[in-house]
Amino acid sequence: DTGVSQDPRHKITKRGQNVTFRCDPISEHNRLYWYRQTLGQGPEFLTYFQNEAQLEKSRLLSDRFSAERPKGSFSTLEIQRTEQGDSAMYLCASSLTSGKSYNEQFFGPGTRLTVL
């Protein structure tokens, strides 16, 4: 039984560069979520997918951010023209929607982004 995996675990980039992160959810989970966490704060919701459909995006998510889940399995989060304020831990989570599910979300190890 494998949990949620994320790649890369760490990314250092220069301001203005584009970066892309990958998330592989728990295999039977149909919902996938992206969150961002900065030091001393709880995770903040960014967006989520049910299968391949992106159902909600946070107002925090600027036009520089885009997420995809093309075949309803793995997902990618791309940040274009990175800014220093994008430095954070990017967390992916997944959950299984079922009759008795109350949306228990399980997190991956995260990708720590540093923008220089």
Whole-number Å distance between alpha carbons of 79 and 100: 35
| Distance spanning both ends of the chain, measured CA to CA | 37
Note whether 40 binds another protein by CB under 8 A: yes
Give residue 48's region: left, alpha or beta (phi > 0; psi -120 to 50).
beta
Identity of the residue, 34 or 79, whose beta carbon is nearer to another protein in the bound complex: 34
Which member of 51, 56, 64, 114 binds another protein (CB under 8 A)?
Answer: 56
The closest of 80, 115, 111 to 93, measured between CA atoms, is 111
Identity of the residue, 15 or 55, whose beta carbon is nearer to another protein in the bound complex: 55
Note whether 35 binds another protein by CB under 8 A: yes
Shortest reach from residue 46's CB to another protein, in Å: 10
Which member of 28, 42, 63, 98 binds another protein (CB under 8 A)?
Answer: 42
Whole-number Å distance between alpha carbons of 63 and 26: 28
Which of the ranges 20-28, 43-51, 68-76, 77-85 carries the binding residues for another protein, by CB under 8 A? 43-51
Number of residues that bind another protein (CB under 8 A): 25
Whole-number Å distance between alpha carbons of 57 and 49: 9
Whole-number Å distance between alpha carbons of 93 and 31: 8
Shortest reach from residue 81's CB to another protein, in Å: 27
Note whether 99 binds another protein by CB under 8 A: no
